[in-house]
Amino acid sequence: MAKVIWIGTSSGDGSWSTTSNWSGGAVPTTSDDVYFTAEYVGSVKAGLDQSAIGLNSVTFDPGYTGNVGSTTAGYLQVTCSSFTYAGSGSYAYFDLGSGTIAPVINNTGSNRRGAYGVYLKGTGLTNVEVNGGLVQIGYPGDTCSASTLNITAGTVLINESGSITTVNNYGGSVTSYTDVTTLNQYRGSYTMERAAALTTAHVESGNINLDSSGTITTLNLNGGMLTSLAGNDRTITTLNWKAGSSLSYFPANTTITNFSSPTEPILIQSTQL
């Protein structure tokens, strides 16, 4: 096991496979700890398939401003036990393969309108932790699945090719184009678009924005606000609510099948009578 640092420069070839791009003059090998630091910010744009090497960890420190992969070159494919990203390059594409791993994204960069700083792919992800930045889970056509998304800050898009079982939102902004089984929201916002559905939601605070044609099977609105937007027809099968919660909706396109009877004041806003 060795600590290996990327020393690639902006004028270099940007290849992971080039020995001169690494401290010690050798490319990382099995069980190494790989670091990308603020001192050497050359982008990684070639030699991207490193999936056959079982690394111990891959870490992108704050201050690393290089890009990683691209839509044309593809993803950086790595197999590792630990993955942490806090860089601020315009974009970074990562394929973490099928191994069991819990990636941590602390920050990203993106200076492109409507783009994300990190694009994540992999089929063995357990917990994805996002503490800042702009993250897309499952670029169109590229599968990414994880059991849990924990978000404290930042913005996450779960694309239609992404799959998350449970979302725990502690203060970030999440938009989902696909079905999620459980949402636990304590702060922040969660937006459902396209045909996204949600089996069970527990909302303590923040906003739930319903802009999809999917169904929320059980919504426990203990605080915060649900806004059901105009457009697609949609259904909330069971709504349980408590004092401090709010509901804003279009009755013409929003069906609420079962209401619980709140015992304390709540706020209901209907845009149509």
On whether the CB atoms of residues 33 and 8 are closer than 8 A, the answer is: no
Strands 180-194 and 162-176: parallel
Residue 244 clears pLDDT 90, i.e. is over it: no
On whether the CB atoms of residues 106 and 84 are closer than 8 A, the answer is: yes
Q: Which percentage of the chain shows pLDDT scores above 70?
A: 95
Give residue-wise pLDDT tens across range 151-162: 999 999 999 999
Residue 213 clears pLDDT 50, i.e. is over it: yes
Nearest to 164 by CA among 183, 189, 185: 183
Give residue-wise pLDDT tens across range 132-181: 999 999 998 899 999 999 999 999 999 999 999 999 999 999 999 999 99
Q: What average pLDDT score do residues 1-9 get?
A: 96
Strands 49-60 and 92-95: unpaired
Q: Model pTM greater than 0.85?
A: yes
Give residue-wise pLDDT tens across range 44-88: 999 999 999 999 999 999 999 999 999 999 999 999 999 999 999
Residue 110 clears pLDDT 90, i.e. is over it: no
Strands 267-270 and 198-203: unpaired
Residue 271 clears pLDDT 70, i.e. is over it: no
Residue 206 clears pLDDT 70, i.e. is over it: yes
Alpha-carbon distance of 28 to 228, in angstroms, equals 51
Average pLDDT of the chain is 94
State which amino acid sits at residue 12.
Answer: G
